[in-house]
Structure 1
Amino acid sequence: MSPLPRLLLLVVMTCVTGLGCTRTTPSFCGTPDDPGCPEGTVCVEERCVSRDELPACALGQTRCEAACVDTRSDASHCGTCGTACADGQVCSRGRCTDACAAGLTQCERGCVELESSTASCGTCGAACGSRESCEAGTCACEPPLTACAGACTDLGSDGNNCGACGNACGSGLCQDGECVNDCDPGLRRCGQGCVDVQSDTFNCGSCGTGCGANEVCVGGRCRLDCPVGSVECDGTCANLTSDARHCGTCGNACGSGQVCTRGACACPSGQAECEAQCVDLRTSVQHCGACGRACAVDETCASSRCQCAAPLVSCAGGCVDLSADARNCGTCGRVCGPGLVCSGGLCAYP
């Protein structure tokens, strides 16, 4: 029998035998008249249960009282347990916002990555089991976990499968794959196992708090396991030398059209920065040849010089249509006589 049902059975038996158990004792919870659960316990099925007796949550989920939630996408526990988003907002990467960040899918009021979310793996609401991870939209045991009787378990700390599937420790605890009576100093009891909450991916910082995909537990906190040369920025791994969203430092986004080169924002090769925008001085009609040098309305910029837009040509500093201009008919300076018009580059009567 798992620790949680055994504890609940003990509470029920205490009440049945008449040992003073009432709705007002700390063992009961869940109704307005019940007192709060003692420190270190949570309310589960109307009973106060020790946090250390609770099973681990799935990877990427955090235990908030009795429930396992993904604080990166849960609108009732956004970022931290108990932090609720306002009406109309969604929870995106642990922050309450008006819309989901790029690349995320909205599932009710949460923004998730269906490829890796254990709460919505592959499709909204398709939750993975305890200690499963979501890889490419499919739930599977996360190495080094082992499948025992259809469930993923850590043979190093599972009291019912200690060292091998089916090897139960009875009333003892499982530590490093062996049954023991008490946990060694520095380790903490979580369920029927002894773990290091400073480094355990499935119990990071506290029992039942699992880190997400591609995350590791360091100092009791989940962090992305970023490859060499990149760091974690706002829930993603970024190369500060080349990422235009995090150039040089996390959150330092480059301007429109800029690229990040060696940790500094700059315009791409062949472009210049004019009025906080990257432009090509060879073709920009607003910045032709130099910042601020604008071409006329009927001109274009070619090879950094303002030129008349075809089929117009330049005559006496202005752009004219030789086929229809009576003062420049067919060629610059040819003026049609009185009563004549320019048609097809020739002076003629209308």
Structure 2
Amino acid sequence: CTWGTSCINGSCLCPSGLTNCNGQCTHTSNNASHCGQCSLSCKAGERCQNGSCELPCAANSVLCNNTCTDIKQDTNNCGACGNQCPSGSFCFDGLCAISCPAGLLKCGGTCVDNRNDRNNCGGCGNQCPSGWVCHEAKCFQTCSPVTTRCDNRCVDVQNDNDHCGACGNKCPSGKMCVNGSCNAPCIGGSQAICNGSCVDTASHPLHCGGCGIKCINGASCQGGKCVFNCPTHQVVCNNVCVDISNDRSNCGVCGKTCPSGQLCAKGQCTQTCPRGTTLCGNVCADLNSAQNHCGSCGNACSSGKTCSSGICTTQCPSMIPDICDGKCTYLMGDPNNCGTCGNICGSNMNCVNGTCQPR
């Protein structure tokens, strides 16, 4: 009998599971020259898998012992075919490890980022439905407007080092992704990396003085500190601009609250409004001059007009200080309003010092 065969009952036979092909005992399940049966050869570039000719292994897999293997995760072929990890360890990224790096979770013998792993989204074994992606440990049918789907996960291509500007565009070592371009790290001064982007912490309202320090409404970031720019006659009380002349919770000074039933008028808690003012809502207003209560409560003067003697009037410049029919004029020299509104001088007359005189 030839090599590998044995004489059994007067015949040269192969062991169980092998087939005699031209005198050689062969695994027809994975032999490319005898795939499935003797003399059935696979085409160039194909491999024999379970007795059938198939195309080569998919991406990220290599052929180990005629089996496609992910050498980044296979404990028996970790990093290379035949490299078996010791007992108690597992294969991660082609290296034998006993624990996962910070931020990763051990699931099914490998380390995963459960913030974006479709098969372990938010926890081991929590698989997202077909067509969905895992983003921030939650399954989403589509990515958010500011992210892009790359490798079955949502990424911000503006600051993702593995997908900078576009999926698969990985920044080289020593550079980082800023605004979709691979650049050198932030240059000194007040520049800092916040959420993957270089920001100026001296002026950025969401990272004022440091990443994540947000200035509240009404404040701006100046020199790395949140600064309030309150309107005239207002001050900052408990991080809010208030008018302490009429604010019941900050009457006259921050934190001074008027008793129930009393109002704050001119910085003083009072039971009734002072003489010359009228209660409009919770504010004592002078109806002769209050822009929002001109002549009566709630009568607000429009832009460009001011409240004078309870009437919303146009604010005229000093050169034409008088108003006729809502327009600024000069009664001392206007021939159509000479001396008084509506007094029109004749065609041969001029207005001089408020009097119509011959030219």
> Normalising by structure 2, what TM-score?
0.30
Q: Relative contact order (C-alpha < 8 Å, sep 6+): which is higher?
A: 1
> Normalising by structure 1, what TM-score?
0.31
Q: Which has the larger radius of gyration?
A: 2
